[in-house]
Amino acid sequence: MTEAPDKLPASNRSLSDPATLRQFASKLGEGIYISTPTGDILDANRAFMEIVGVESLDDLKNVKTHSLMDPARRAEEAALYESQGSVQSFEFELKRPDGGTRYVRDTGYVVRDEDDGDLFYHGILVDISAQKALERQLVELSIRDPLTGCYNRRFFSVLEDRLGTGTDSTWGCIYLDIDDFKVYNDKHGHSAGDAALVDLSRFLLRQLRGNDVVVRVGGDEFVAVLHAALEQHVLQVVQRLQAAASSAHVVPFSMGWCARQEGESLAATVGRADQRLISVKILDRKRAERRKAAS
């Protein structure tokens, strides 16, 4: 039997040399760090410093890991270290000392010093800001109407979360559609019809507050959702739209509106506004028929 060598070959010894490992770590694009449970950063490579936004290890002495993240997320990560001894692909928004932010993915594990029992965190920090930006862009594209730039139906689920579903949450809905849009398209062509839709969407956005939203829910149908709006405010917005439309270069449209009732979902409020629009159009049609009969 061949005896095992009492020392590594030269080529392997170089790989185990601490200086070689530090050189290797310095060239990585991922941040490598050693920290303590109390938040001190003891050592890190260049990539980690670039992510955090500091120039040197001396600068890191003035930075606590606690200050780099939201307190709630920090508590979540600390709980994972406590219960599992490690964290895997833990994502959070990193708040840099210079005021900038990065989205990062943290993976680390607890190391206990054999001599004194002190605990340390050895971790790898990856900057995923570009990935998060792309994800946000894809989400934005999925909830936007490509013609008008308004939100589409998919946005309603996102919007209801933002509005809140508590008993104190209030909102109003205005359901609009263009009068005789099929006739308009047949007469002027689909390009003109598309232009009319774009003009109407821009008109609505100009008339509403910055935190209100416009959703294109169908071919010529739009829903304006008004934040923190009671019945009286919704009516005032409807009257303002009617007055502004008379002097604006937009196609004629009809509206149905209502404000949220206690405990009502956004879908239910939209549905009631739609039903009111139908009632308004039926009433307008009957009036037009009576005028035609009288003439």
User: Residue 6 above 60 pLDDT?
Assistant: no
User: Residue 104 above 80 pLDDT?
Assistant: yes
User: Residue 259 above 70 pLDDT?
Assistant: yes
Q: Which of 98-102, 159-163, 177-181 has the lowest mean pLDDT?
A: 159-163
186/288: higher pLDDT: 186
pLDDT class for 13, splitting at 50, 70, 90?
Answer: very low
Domain 143-294 has CATH 3.30.70.270: yes
Q: What per-residue confidence (pLDDT) applies to 24?
A: 64
User: Residue 131 above 80 pLDDT?
Assistant: yes
User: Residue 64 above 60 pLDDT?
Assistant: yes
Residue 58, CA distances (Å) to 39, 51, 99, 110 in order: 15, 16, 19, 24
- What stretch(es) of the chain map to CATH 3.30.450.20? 10-133
**Token pair recorded at residue 238:** 């409807």
User: Residue 210 above 50 pLDDT?
Assistant: yes
**Token pair recorded at residue 94:** 């990193």
Quote the mean pLDDT of the chain: 89
Q: Which of 3-12, 157-166, 199-208, 217-226 has the lowest mean pLDDT?
A: 3-12
- What stretch(es) of the chain map to CATH 3.30.70.270? 143-294
Mean pLDDT confidence for 66-93: 94
Q: What per-residue confidence (pLDDT) applies to 238?
A: 96
CA–CA distance, 143 with 155 (Å, rounded to integer): 5
Nearest C-alpha neighbor of 224 from the set 245, 211, 143, 279: 211
Question: 81-97: per-residue pLDDT in tens?
Answer: 999 999 999 999 999 99
Q: Model's pTM, two decimal places?
A: 0.62
CA–CA distance, 83 with 248 (Å, rounded to integer): 63
User: Residue 99 above 90 pLDDT?
Assistant: yes
Q: What per-residue confidence (pLDDT) applies to 174?
A: 98
Mean pLDDT confidence for 16-44: 80
User: Residue 25 above 90 pLDDT?
Assistant: no
* 250 dihedral zone (left: phi>0; alpha: psi -120 to 50; beta): beta
Mean pLDDT confidence for 256-274: 95
Q: Report whether 105 contacts 128 (CB < 8 A).
A: yes
CA–CA distance, 105 with 2 (Å, rounded to integer): 47
pLDDT class for 111, splitting at 50, 70, 90?
Answer: very high
Q: What per-residue confidence (pLDDT) applies to 11?
A: 46
Q: Report whether 197 contacts 293 (CB < 8 A).
A: no
CA–CA distance, 168 with 61 (Å, rounded to integer): 46
24/123: higher pLDDT: 123
Mean pLDDT confidence for 203-221: 94
Domain 10-133 has CATH 3.40.50.11540: no
